[in-house]
Chains A and B, each alone.
Chain A
Amino acid sequence: MNFLADINNALPEAILVAFGLVGLLVGAIGGDRISGLLRLVAAIALAAASATAFVQFGRGETISAFASAELAPEGLYRVTLFTLFAKGVTYAMAAFALFMSTGFLKSAQMERYEYPLLIVFGSLGAGMMLSANDLMTLYVGIETLSLSSYVLAAFRRDSIKSAEAGLKYFVLGALASGLLLYGSALIYGFSGGTGYAAIAAAPTSVGLLFGLVFVICGLAFKASAAPFHIWTPDVYEGAPSPVVAFFSTAPKIAAVTLLAHVMFVAFGPHIASWQLIIAIIAALSMLIGAFGALMQNSIKRILAYSSISNVGFALIGIAAGAEAGAAAVLVYMTLYVIATLGMFGGVLALRRGGKSIDAVSDLNGLVKSKPGMALGLLILIFSVAGIPPAAGFWGKLQVFTAGIEADMLWLVLVGALASVVSLGYYLRLVWAMFMKPAGEPLDRTDVSVAATVAISALIVFPILTVAIQMLLSATALAAGG
């Protein structure tokens, strides 16, 4: 039957759905006692989904599914090599984020069975929106991700800050979803279809452009690009630490690559209309992210601004257009989330007397108490900052190349300026870790966190510094498909 073939084509998501539904049942019966087991199985399911996506990527074919002759001749669901690669990385990041959350959840008494399930459903939504070939599927995917995220942000039920973060995220997120939906409606009205192919084929019209702008606003909100970034520092500050580690990795790369995918595929022919918009969003994000963090004292807020700034860099790749920029976006985001996972995870998992640290001064003297962790964080911070020899530099090199190829030197120069400014706060973190006298002793680091930091640090330096060609050829393949 055709339906089974469709399921097979959407295998990574099918794995997650199956685990999510069964896990929900088992959790409802077993309760919080089995949350440890569920976390383990959920991490395995996410890893399996990631592996499946990469296997499909390895086969090198574009997959369509859920087609219907009248409503969606191209399929509601269509996976290109570009999105397969993004999906694979997204699921892998989610698996790691879950893997290293154990210690935190235990010490914060948050070991509830819903936690792994929400992460899985959120990742499922991320995967769905990436696989979408139609604005409707896109919307359903985004909402699946967003609703899980709202609950995750407020997951620490007894903390006012966490509840506030969840509520803020929900209210603003709902507004963004509304914009996205309204834009989709306009686009449908002026192009006669919601499928990407129909939109791409439609002539450029004022109505279509209005819709396009609304869609960009909605998606930029999800990717936390300026000027739709205001929620990010508040949500990052309030949400529980492992949730922030998740937010800043899996949904982040999904949202940015989704924006790229929608722009390149659905609105590719209309590039003249949106190129400047994206370029301005990129410039604003880089600058606001760089300047905003200078005066912050909370590590979480600094990292939130850092993610805004980095999204801005990735957007240079989108603004450069599909030909020049698609591979660059993937390289940039992949390197960024790998480094971020370790950096957020490592910093946020440091605890003192059972409580997560948050002020920059809490990092003081880390090199004395935990030299390995300090060294790992040093590498990761410089990777996120894009300073060679850490691999994050290759990402910057790629987006700068894309920007210059697309004749947007001004954007590259803004990026260069933002890099220098943002070093101001990255160096503050290094300063605290290496140059200040140590404060009160920190708690033992969880093995899972130490392992994640070590792995991600080794990947960004030296493995990918030397073997960057591997990632580049994979993303070039992805961009071509």
Chain B
Amino acid sequence: MTGPMILTLTTFLPLIGAVLIMAVRIVGGAGAAGSASKGIALLASLATLGVSLVALSQFDPTVAGYQLVDEAPWFGGSSYKLGVDGLAISLVVLTTALMPLCILQSMKSIEDRLAEYMVAFLVLETLMIGVFCALDLVLFYVFFEGGLIPMFLIIGVWGGKNRLYAAFKFFLYTLLGSLLLLAALVYMAIVAGTTDVVVLQEGLHPETGALLFPPEVQTWLWLAFFASFAVKLPMWPVHTWLPDAHVEAPTAGSVVLAAVLLKMGGYGFLRFSLPMFPEASMLFQPLMFGLSVVAIVYASLVAFRQTDIKKLVAYSSVAHMGFVTLGIFSFNEAGIQGAIFQMISHGVISGALFFCVGVIYDRMHTREIAFYGGLVHRMPVYAALFMLFSMANVGLPGTSGFVGEILTMVGAFQASTWAAAGAALGVILSAVYMLTLYRRTVFGEMTNQKLLDIKDVTPLEFFILGLLAVSAVGLGVFPGVVFGLTESSTSEVLRMIGR
């Protein structure tokens, strides 16, 4: 396989799988498609992982700027342009690596309409990879908003009791944010005459060389982008769709939502808001710090009070995303590197936590914390793995969670002592809610009779959780793997905001 086109292949390979399954479904009926879809979906996602790894091997982390660029004219000032830097390629690999695990998990736990489920998942994978690879604002927007459709279906069709409410809330919240982004995008396209991200990041008119967006215009554009990314991330106070969506979504849906979809917000800040509107980003630094700290502390406190395991993990996601924004808006190398690392690490850890919840949910069909207790007596392996991920979520040294949190706090400390102090409080609180959760579900006496014959993890579940455990520890011990990749993108961002 040769260099160019490889990102196009990575992006659209899952879609090809989805079309195949659809063809089988329409021609062969639901029965044939159900069994065929397992094989096709797994193959497609593994092939995508393979191709993305090839792309990673061709990627040269020492070179600044975008690589492996595929470009074709599209319409007006927009083009079909894909390309990655270290930030994008690491998120792409995170996506492609999690996808086969999600599909493996779903094969067991999804019983109804499996073929359609796989189609929705593969389409979603294409759109997610596209978001991270797109180097054209319009193309980015198409992938960004298009992702709502399969996720809406995944929550709505295969979700829990309250799925109608959750699916609508997810869709409408996110859409309102992205339409403001659309209005800003249209304005930028008119002013610059192009929607090429590279040109817009430089901030100079391609022909005249004049400054594209003076500071007062930047403020409005920044706010429009902020509306979209803040909802997606999600930041306090627009985070309320997330717990609902997480609780109602099927396990693999929650995994993808937490591990990948939330990262689009942080990615958006790093890729667009900071480089394109540096003055406005500086201007809003105090606001972002404030919101981040509130998110970290408030979401941690709310998480502590939850009775539903998934809701607890969801609120912990909101808190951890607070670290991401804190790091990004500290405008220094430690902060931004930490934020990127935190995104990757949270992808692994929160994904793993949702898989853990899925394991016991598949057996007992409830997520009430009070229902469980004493799981360690019947599920020792599970208890060990769950312990590892809980500790990683708290940020225990040696796990990937620690690296992200400590770096973002170091970065934030250089920018604002108070913000760092608030974030540190959040670290303590995260230990409080995670350890409480762990104690109440895993330790103690087994009082609930229904739990008596609960089985430990199956080989498949062990395989999925084991892989994630290796990644969480591996990234914690060798964080340089990620830093090496993202170093040049971080310095590019810092160069563009002029610090």
Contacts and interface: CB of A to CB of B under 8 A. Distances in A.
Interface of A: 367-368, 371-372, 375, 378, 382, 387-389, 393-394, 396-397, 400-401, 404-405, 409, 412-413, 416-417, 419-420, 423-424, 427, 430-431, 434-435, 465, 468-469, 472
A431 B156 contact: yes
24 contacts: A368-B113, A372-B26, A378-B149, A382-B149, A387-B145, A389-B142, A397-B138, A400-B183, A401-B186, A404-B183, A404-B190, A409-B183, A412-B186, A416-B179, A416-B182, A423-B175, A424-B168, A427-B168, A427-B171, A431-B167, A434-B153, A468-B75, A469-B73, A472-B76
B153 A420 contact: no
Contacts of B153: 430, 434
Interface string B129-157: 00000000010011101101100110011
B301 interface: no
Contacts of A416: 176, 179-180, 182-183
B152 A430 contact: yes
Given A371-B26, A400-B183, A420 B142 contact: no
B22 interface: yes
Contact of B179 (A420, A434, A472): A420
A372 B148 CA distance: 21
B454 interface: no
A469 B26 contact: no
B377 interface: no
The interface size bin for chain B is 35 or more
A413 B181 CA distance: 11
B186 A419 contact: no
A417 B81 CA distance: 30
B196 interface: no
A interface majority secondary structure? helix
Contacts of A435: 156-157, 163-164
Interface of B: 22, 25-26, 30, 73-76, 113, 116, 138, 141-143, 145-146, 148-149, 152-153, 156-157, 163-164, 167-168, 171-172, 175-176, 179-180, 182-183, 186-187, 189-190
Contacts of A405: 190
Contacts of A400: 182-183, 186
Given A372-B26, A424-B168, A472 B75 contact: yes
B179 A469 contact: no
A444 B171 CA distance: 33
Contacts of A404: 183, 186-187, 190
A400 B178 CA distance: 14
Contacts of B146: 387-389
Name the 7 nearest CB pairs between A and B, nearest first: A416-B179, A388-B142, A469-B75, A389-B146, A420-B176, A435-B156, A400-B186
Nearest to B180: A416
Contacts of A419: 175, 179
Nearest to B148: A387
Which of A378, A435, A472 lies at the interface centre, i.e. has the most chain B CB atoms within 10 A of its CB? A435
Contact of B172 (A367, A394, A409, A420): A420
Nearest to A416: B179
Nearest to B130: A389
A14 to B, nearest CB: 36
A413 B180 CA distance: 8
Contacts of B171: 423, 427
A467 to B, nearest CB: 9
Given A387-B148, A400-B182, A423-B175, A469 B74 contact: yes
A413 B183 contact: yes
A290 B87 CA distance: 40
